[in-house]
Structure 1
Amino acid sequence: MHRKYLTQPWVNVAVLATLACFVGPVALAQISTPTTEELDAVKERLIEHYNMREGPVAMRDLPQWAPIKKIVVRDIYGPGSLGTTEARIEWISKVAPGVEFEVFKTTNEAIASGALQDAQAVLGIGCSPGLIFALGPETHWTQSSSSGVAGCFYRDGEDSIKAHQMMLKRGTVLTSQRGVNSIAIAEHALSLMLALIQGVDIHIRRQDKGIWGRFFTDRVKDPNIDWELDGRTLLIAGLGTVGTEIARRANALGMRVIATRNSSRDGPDFVDYVGLAYELNELAAQADVVLSQLPLTAETDQIFNAEFFEIMKPSAYFINMGRGQHVVMDDLVDALRQGKIAGAALEALDPEPLPPGHPLWTMPRVIITPHVSDYSDKHEDTVWQLYRENLRRYIAGDKLLNVIDMEKGY
């Protein structure tokens, strides 16, 4: 699907009347020109509630900043609380009067159309070399549709390196959806941790076989179930936006939270200790649960390997919420088989999906979820609020939210 929308610098009454026929009164109210109070409320929600961060530099201070005439948008969503695609574009356009929007359902359609060549901004398309190579010389801002942007820096080998160099040369500003999913991912991570500690995976497998089991007789077989969380140590590798939300919830359950981050030792009050990246192995030896929320970079690729699992306590659990490429899967399988760790929960794997017959499918004390933690009932609304807020900020020349450090890649 490909549609063009040329917005007006005023509220088009005829358009609003037409939209009312299929959007309804709630969505119709949402597409009126935003008030200062409404914009402030969205800002508070994104920054305070979802822990998004402002970039270091205002757009007006960058030499490549220029007025936007055309934006290419990928809209993958069906009708939602903001209505259809037409209603969403009308809603977002209230902060961008006079701007032309071209809307596509897929990245490939957008690339093949040539529409990216004369666009000044791109909203909602994942960061990939194919996208970057298709951008025209006037495209100075790309809003990614994902939290991770490794495709533009590292994941796809030489093409990623070329894409990265091209963005640096042009001064492209890249923003991510970091934070949109932070609460959903944090709650998913907590559910995996609790499931392992309470042996829910054991219960489910017994249920499938019609077996009634009581854990107080099972402790002889597995001493690593039925912990109380109070006083247990959780290590979060990667104390970013999502890691902070995980830490907040774990601390509320009485856990001692320690963490690593690459930038500094600064951290919130509910984290007992923040170490730098080089301290990961030392801290892992203390942890009852190791949880990865790292970005994928050359330094973190396959960081969880045989050496790392050797350092962990035999009673400790490993949870991967980051990227599958962080883990050497064969080494994880060996560590589980040899009892070097107590169990694992994997939301991200390599490859995805795991091939049929892979040992992790059937191994005891392993829980697999198919990379689904980033979605919630509030996901779509939050995505569009981020898009509109960043578009408003770009046009005003202000600091954008979720700006990617072009040297670090996250």
Structure 2
Amino acid sequence: MDNNTKAILDVHEKPSPVQWLTLSLQHLFAMFGATVLVPFLVGLHPGVALVSSGLATLAYLLVTRGQIPAYLGSSFAFITPILTVKAFGGPEAAMLGSFLAGLVYGVVALLIKGFGFKWLMRILPPVVVGPVIIVIGLGLANVAVGMAMNLPGTEEYSLTHFTVALFTLAVTIICSIFFRGILGIIPILIGIIAGYTFAYFRGLVDFTKVAEANWIQAPDFIVPFVTYTPDFSWSIAMIMMPVAAVTIAEHIGHQLVLSKVVGRNFIEKPGLHRSILGDGLGVMIGSMIGGPPVTTYGENIGVLAITRVYSVFVIGGAAVTAILFGFSGKVTALISTIPTAVMGGVSILLFGIIASSGLRMLVDNNIDFGNKRNLIISSVILVTGIGGAALKINANFEIAGMALATLIGIFLNLVLPGKEDDNDLMNKMFKTNGNDTAA
């Protein structure tokens, strides 16, 4: 371990009580803005999202034997699929789809345990994953802009709302560019707070719900066989399950970066199969109580890099705090009072960053678009995904949007000639992610 990764608190070191609380709150704030934005966008209860985020993180720490300091927050990749499934099946159908996506993680983890993970890289190379990530971001562009400039729930333009959104966006950008240290990791949270304050003075905030809420109050859980009876359909499966391919690829990237930050090879120990299984278990836990699917968070990896505090006890403390926040009626009511214009302003930047990260993946991996193979794969993924192409066999079977784009990209990559050599692909990926200990 070099001086750049020398830990102030190593993975299994326990902080003092005051340190524990302070450091855990840092991680909570880092993930807070993005994690509550997802349920806000898809119409799920923010308190449930906080509880599922905390429970998923604790499950992840358990599955990985307390060896990987990673926090799991709400996944943006599932926003469009959840909205699509909710449109015809309600939130219960979206939860069933999330559970099925979690099962995909479990199957992939078993295959990695038995056969390694090179096969997965052959199916999901950067030329496929990069454009799909771009689709995730740009596919949500109309959602962000609509929230920013229209009256809530309508298509009626509002200059007041758009002004609030632009102010929120400006503050978030300024924080991202000029703030350093921990403040530079939480520009989303700072932007939301600033935008919320500005919106209050513009008369867009109503504290009635906060005043009426109890301090301790269970959120609106959606529990199978308690609040609803699951009703499986192939349409739900084919909309939600392919998304796991993208988030698993994202997960691998996070593990490579995290390994570099902490100075350990988490791909080898405790093993990629364990981290993917832990992530999938977190997705399934969230689906069992009505929370959105989760994923490892880059913001929290950033906190680790800046503080050099790698303790899993700190991560666990953040998870427990998130659960407690989820059971606070005042906190969840306060979240629900955030104007859509504020979330729209933040979303403009966030969704753009998602799309840009897909572009960065293509650039970092030196994808040559002078090569017709790469050009064709990327082009087809982008147009089918952003254009909302759908394959409808009958009333019960439909593959649409990002899910269809992902499957088409995988198919084209496997059948078109000129595929990159496996060893070259592996070396490029590990070199790109700053980790030279490929498993």
TM-score normalised by the chain length of structure 1: 0.23
Write 1 or 2 for the structure with the bigger share of helix: 2
Greater strand share, 1 or 2?
Answer: 1
TM-score (norm 2): 0.21
Greater C-alpha Rg: 1
